[in-house]
Chain A
């Protein structure tokens, strides 16, 4: 019961309470303000996490979960601020009506709250329930525009992720069975912290079976190929602030679960080595996504494939094993989340301004909207992994660890990164330079770009002037999963 009055519990509960409040508000603008306040509350509570390390029956706050929760709640906050102006524009343009705007606010906060709960929960069952609830919220929000394409996207999203999440539950049951001989019946055998400690005494054969199902299940949510089918559609059709949060949080929560699982598998002598599986799925995602980026006509779909590529790279880094690769993976996860959220915020504005989201209709952004065009260009340069930004640092670290641990794979990873980065830069030229095109939407005020600039500045700082305290903090997070 003490968990209920725990400050850590505020992190997920504040957004969820906000969702309740937003559900009772009929005024769209008041709803948007509630979203911002609730997300800010969640972020403020998350800021205290590094000083609130604890392990209890239901909550697990270690550097890993604290780091990712902090990141998720931060992206949640900036997306909430961004969506204030975004939704207002959608309302005035008539693409969204007030009841649906209210539903949007409720779902956004529900989604955020359950993501944070999944991260901070110490119980595999609760993690699963939270991920499931977040999935349902995100499915509904993707279908919100109610165009034919949005409905198809959310249907596909639901079927693929529903099956994925069902397989993950089967994996959870098998994992419990594997932990029974070591921990006995009860909550201990479903606790992340106890599992990590008792891993050597678990049944190796059952761990293998559990790993396969959990990897498939959570891999679906992480968008790892060949289970990535839902992601381009969901990103392309859903409201843009949701794409920003989707790109940031769902992947990270799923990847953290996979990383913890890797720690359990590594500690058990009988179990198979999880690394090669993660590396195979990760590498496949990197290669498939970077090739798929060529020839995409839809802007948001294009960047969704880029997200799949980066998620695959993180999974690959986690698969390499060892503290240095895990550190690089976590750093990459952090900087990519920040950069991609900024990118999607710009893309959302561009789509509103031009009234469409296909490459063919957009060019010369810097000419027509200087601030927006420059921000978008910077964000694309960052995501392409060019120096001096953070993604360059993390990608170099990951490549370095690949040379150390799996040298024969280095060319493949390198090719994937170059092909993906090249696709991004060629699209940058098309979008931002050339003859300007004009659309029906309103111009973006530079103030609306502040969240994106905050993200990009953070990525810049992490790129070439990373404070030692941040290095130590990420190192501690990496060492959690051994």
Chain B
């Protein structure tokens, strides 16, 4: 492998692609309509596929191409189409009910990115620069996914938040040199399976409550029984 550092093309491109994934995480947070959330998620999956593919090229690790292909086809094409189908079939309202306004969410998001950089960079001083940056970016994407899950009220957007969190995990896994295939494959399988699970949930929730709103699901009432 060639030297990786500032100025090297392989480094710059990997960095850029990781940053695109991160920026799309912010874009996900700022969308006000369900369809645009799904489209942004698809874009993020494409960026992830490009990042994974480029890592495969740089690390001479052909198995990463499989990860890239899975990200592209499953998360970039199949899942968004299915989600659009769900939105149309269930006549989900197009607007998104947010628990937090866009601006406070974005501000929190920026703070989370700062936090992950502050956590990751000092702990990885001896590692390669690419690994460090990649890990910081990945952790940011994971945290932004979590933020999306708590700042959105509808089940559909929470699901997308969860899947975008998983994109962060794959970004972390592909950025680490020589990581065995197990993890990437498992994550890819997980996303598919998770989607099936969620699909089941959607239809059940729809059948029970006539709505995909999480707050209808507040009957068990945590610790009060």
Contact = CB atoms under 8 A, between A and B. Distances in A.
A186 B181 CA distance: 9
B220 A156 contact: yes
Contact of B183 (A133, A159, A173): A173
B214 to A, nearest CB: 8
A177 B125 CA distance: 12
A158 B139 CA distance: 21
A459 B80 CA distance: 52
A166 interface: yes
Nearest to A298: B225
A170 B220 contact: no
B204 interface: yes
B119 A163 contact: no
A297 interface: yes
A129 B180 CA distance: 13
B122 A153 contact: no
Contact of A146 (B182, B187, B204, B225): B204
Contacts of A156: 220
B123 A129 contact: no
Contacts of A146: 204, 208
Interface of B is mostly: helix
A190 B180 CA distance: 8
A205 B122 contact: yes
A206 B194 contact: no
Interface stretch (A230-238, A246-254, A327-335, A448-456): A230-238
A163 B149 contact: yes
Contact of A123 (B123, B162, B182, B214): B182
B190 A132 contact: yes
Contacts of A232: 222-223
A132 B186 contact: yes
B194 A152 contact: no
B32 interface: no
Contacts of A206: 123-124, 127
Contacts, number: 132
B178 A139 contact: no
Nearest to A233: B220
Nearest to B189: A129
A236 B225 contact: yes
A173 B179 contact: yes
A292 interface: yes
A139 B209 CA distance: 19
Given A139-B197, A166-B165, A292 B223 contact: yes
A173 B142 contact: no
A187 B209 CA distance: 47
Output the residue of B168, B189, B194 with the most chain A CB within 10 A. B194
Nearest to B198: A158
Interface residues of B, number: 52
B186 A136 contact: no
B158 interface: yes
Interface in B133-182: 135, 138-139, 142, 146, 149, 155, 158, 162, 165-166, 168-169, 172-173, 176-180, 182
Contact of A186 (B122, B168, B178): B178
Interface in B175-225: 176-180, 182-183, 186-187, 189-190, 193-194, 197, 200-201, 204-205, 208-209, 214, 217-220, 222-223, 225
Output the residue of B124, B168, B179 with the most chain A CB within 10 A. B179
Contacts of B223: 232, 292
A340 B160 CA distance: 37
Contact of B162 (A139, A162, A208): A162
Interface string A137-154: 001100100101101111
Contacts of A277: none
Contacts of A296: 225
B26 to A, nearest CB: 19
Given A129-B186, A163-B146, A205-B125, A170 B208 contact: no
Contact of A170 (B122, B142, B209): B142
B131 interface: yes
Contact of B217 (A129, A152, A301): A152
17 contacts: A128-B183, A132-B190, A140-B197, A140-B200, A143-B200, A148-B208, A151-B204, A158-B197, A159-B149, A163-B149, A166-B162, A173-B169, A176-B176, A186-B178, A208-B123, A209-B123, A297-B225
Interface of B: 119-120, 122-127, 131, 135, 138-139, 142, 146, 149, 155, 158, 162, 165-166, 168-169, 172-173, 176-180, 182-183, 186-187, 189-190, 193-194, 197, 200-201, 204-205, 208-209, 214, 217-220, 222-223, 225
Which 4 A-B residue pairings sit nearest by Cβ, starting from the closest? A185-B178, A125-B182, A205-B123, A129-B186
